[in-house]
Structure 1
Amino acid sequence: MGAEHLHDWRQGLASALEWWRDAGVETLQEDEPRDWLARPAAAPATVAAPAAVTAAPEILPTTLEDFVAWRMGANAPESGWHAPLIAPSGPANAKMVVFSDMPCAEDRETLMSDATGRLFDRMLAAIGLTRDSVYLGSLAVARPLTGRVPPEQEARLVQLARHHVTLLKPERLLLFGQAAEKLIDGQADGSADVNLFGCTTRVVASYHPRFLLERPAAKSEAWKHLLLLTRGSQ
């Protein structure tokens, strides 16, 4: 029985091999020959990603003349606002600097023109000053169409304005408008002596003259602000 069973197994295997051979399946069906004994190729080394390039810190002009020229040039943040860029005015060694938030709607060549300018001149005269004796600048050197400093550009404009005032190193600084108050981190209630511009500066934030034209009742409060600036808190 065992011999007969073994004979049947061998006969079946031979029959199967013969069938596959007749079908043509007797060689390795690949385009390229394969070395089955070869070791697998090592995985390619991972190439490290290049280190991120750190942007060089911006270097702003270090003289007042060069900085003002830069602020009036094509690299100024306001150059794309489609509005005239209005330069600051006044002596570089002025003891008092006035910074507003932006030019007024009627300003074309100088800050504080027309009715706003006339009121501004009267405010200066009340404390014994003239426009020619103060340095007048603005946080934004152009007026945006919305009449408000764009929030997404405010921090940049504040940075530039602080650099501007640092080049001036004034004894007194008068700020007009809420956006301009950001120059002193919001310390705008009353007066403050700050050391943000390379020297100790008496700073007072007050109402913009254009606001006073609309709200004459606020003039008395603005007068108190001017007294704080010129006489101190005593």
Structure 2
Amino acid sequence: MGADQHHDWMGSVASALDWWQEAGVDTLVDEAPRDWLSQPVPSPATFAATAAAPVQIVDAMPAALADFIAWRTGDAVPEFEWRGLSIAATGPADAAVMVMVDCPDADDGAAGLLMTGATGALFDRMLAAIGLSRDVVHLAAVCAKRPVAGRMPREVEARLSEISKHHIGLVAPKRLLLLGNAASRAILGAEMPGTRGRLHPFNHKVGTTGVVASFHPRFLIEKPAAKAEAWKDLQLLMGDASK
């Protein structure tokens, strides 16, 4: 067991170093250790001028997370008649950090998991760079199945937005990372990268979640120069907006 733990620790360190190098990081974030998640999310009063209205929950959606995740891959959702496999969310129900992507990638269906292949490898390095892993984040997609051509149909965006917002409210994370344009539109109602660079408030029944929008790893693979900007987003996500 000790050897396996050592291997996992070394792998995480190597993954974080790979991401930092790709993002062009050449200085430490802080000289002293930091509890990244200890930074409080600004209160609803702080966001009074810009906070979104509380989410209107659709009665048909289950009020318990486990029930909701099972319902999400059933026949009551917009993607039910689409081809392919519905991929359920993963991660702790009480995760401090939630990540929402637009939809599964083409290779994800074979594994039955979100963020696999080269995209998933880069995603794992991004998480490792801020001291996280898949084991501690709640990972979900706006679309449970991959749409034709990988683009979310506009006619179901409003319903998928309602479903995704309900999902966030059930997890009630301290921070939410939105990866890509479709995820930004679904939750913040605006395109990314216009939503980048600031912490958005998302109000739900339990309180307020701080939301950060950033580039999807598949975009970063195509446009490596954007990794430096993505690193800034990750710092903002973890409460260090001053860097």
Instruction: Please give the TM-score of this superposition, normalised by the length of structure 1.
Output: 0.73
Which residue of 197, 204, 207 corresponds with 1:197? Answer: 204
Name the Cα RMSD after superposition: 1.3
Q: Does 1:122 align with 2:125?
A: yes
1:168 aligned residue: 171
Quick one: distance in 1 between partners of 2:114 and 2:74? 18
Quick one: distance in 2 between partners of 1:231 and 1:158? 26
Give the partner amino acid of 2:125. R
Post-superposition offset of 1:83: 1.4
Quick one: distance in 1 between partners of 2:171 and 2:204? 8
CA contact (8 A) 1:90 1:135 kept: yes
Give the partner amino acid of 2:188. I
Quick one: distance in 2 between partners of 1:90 and 1:195? 20
Write the deviation string for residues 167-218 of structure 1: whole angstroms up to 9, x where unpaired: 0101000001111112023272312241422322111100000111111111
Post-superposition offset of 1:162: 0.1
1:184 aligned residue: 188
Quick one: distance in 2 between partners of 1:164 and 1:225? 22
Q: Does 1:206 align with 2:214?
A: yes
2:85 aligned residue: 84
CA contact (8 A) 1:174 1:203 kept: yes
2:137 aligned residue: 134
Which residue of 105, 111, 116 corresponds with 2:114? Answer: 111
Quick one: distance in 1 between partners of 2:100 and 2:59? 24
Post-superposition offset of 1:58: 4.1
Q: Does 1:159 align with 2:162?
A: yes
Q: Does 1:219 align with 2:227?
A: yes
2:22 aligned residue: none
Identity %: 49
Instruction: Please give the TM-score of this superposition, normalised by the length of structure 2.
Output: 0.70
2:75 counterpart SS class: coil
Give the partner amino acid of 2:67. D
Which structure's relative contact order is higher, taking Cα pairs within 8 Å and 6+ residues apart? 2
Quick one: distance in 2 between partners of 1:195 and 1:101? 18
Give the partner amino acid of 1:217. A
Q: Does 1:98 align with 2:106?
A: no
CA contact (8 A) 2:184 2:195 kept: yes
Quick one: distance in 2 between partners of 1:84 and 1:178? 22
Q: Give unmatched runs, 5+ long, in structure 1.
A: 1-56
Quick one: distance in 1 between partners of 2:103 and 2:72? 14
2:241 counterpart SS class: coil
Post-superposition offset of 1:118: 0.5
Give the partner amino acid of 1:203. V
CA contact (8 A) 1:102 1:140 kept: yes
Quick one: distance in 2 between partners of 1:201 and 1:119? 25
* Stretch deviating more after TM superposition (181-190 or 203-212): 181-190
1:80 counterpart SS class: coil
Aligned residues: 178
CA contact (8 A) 2:91 2:134 kept: yes
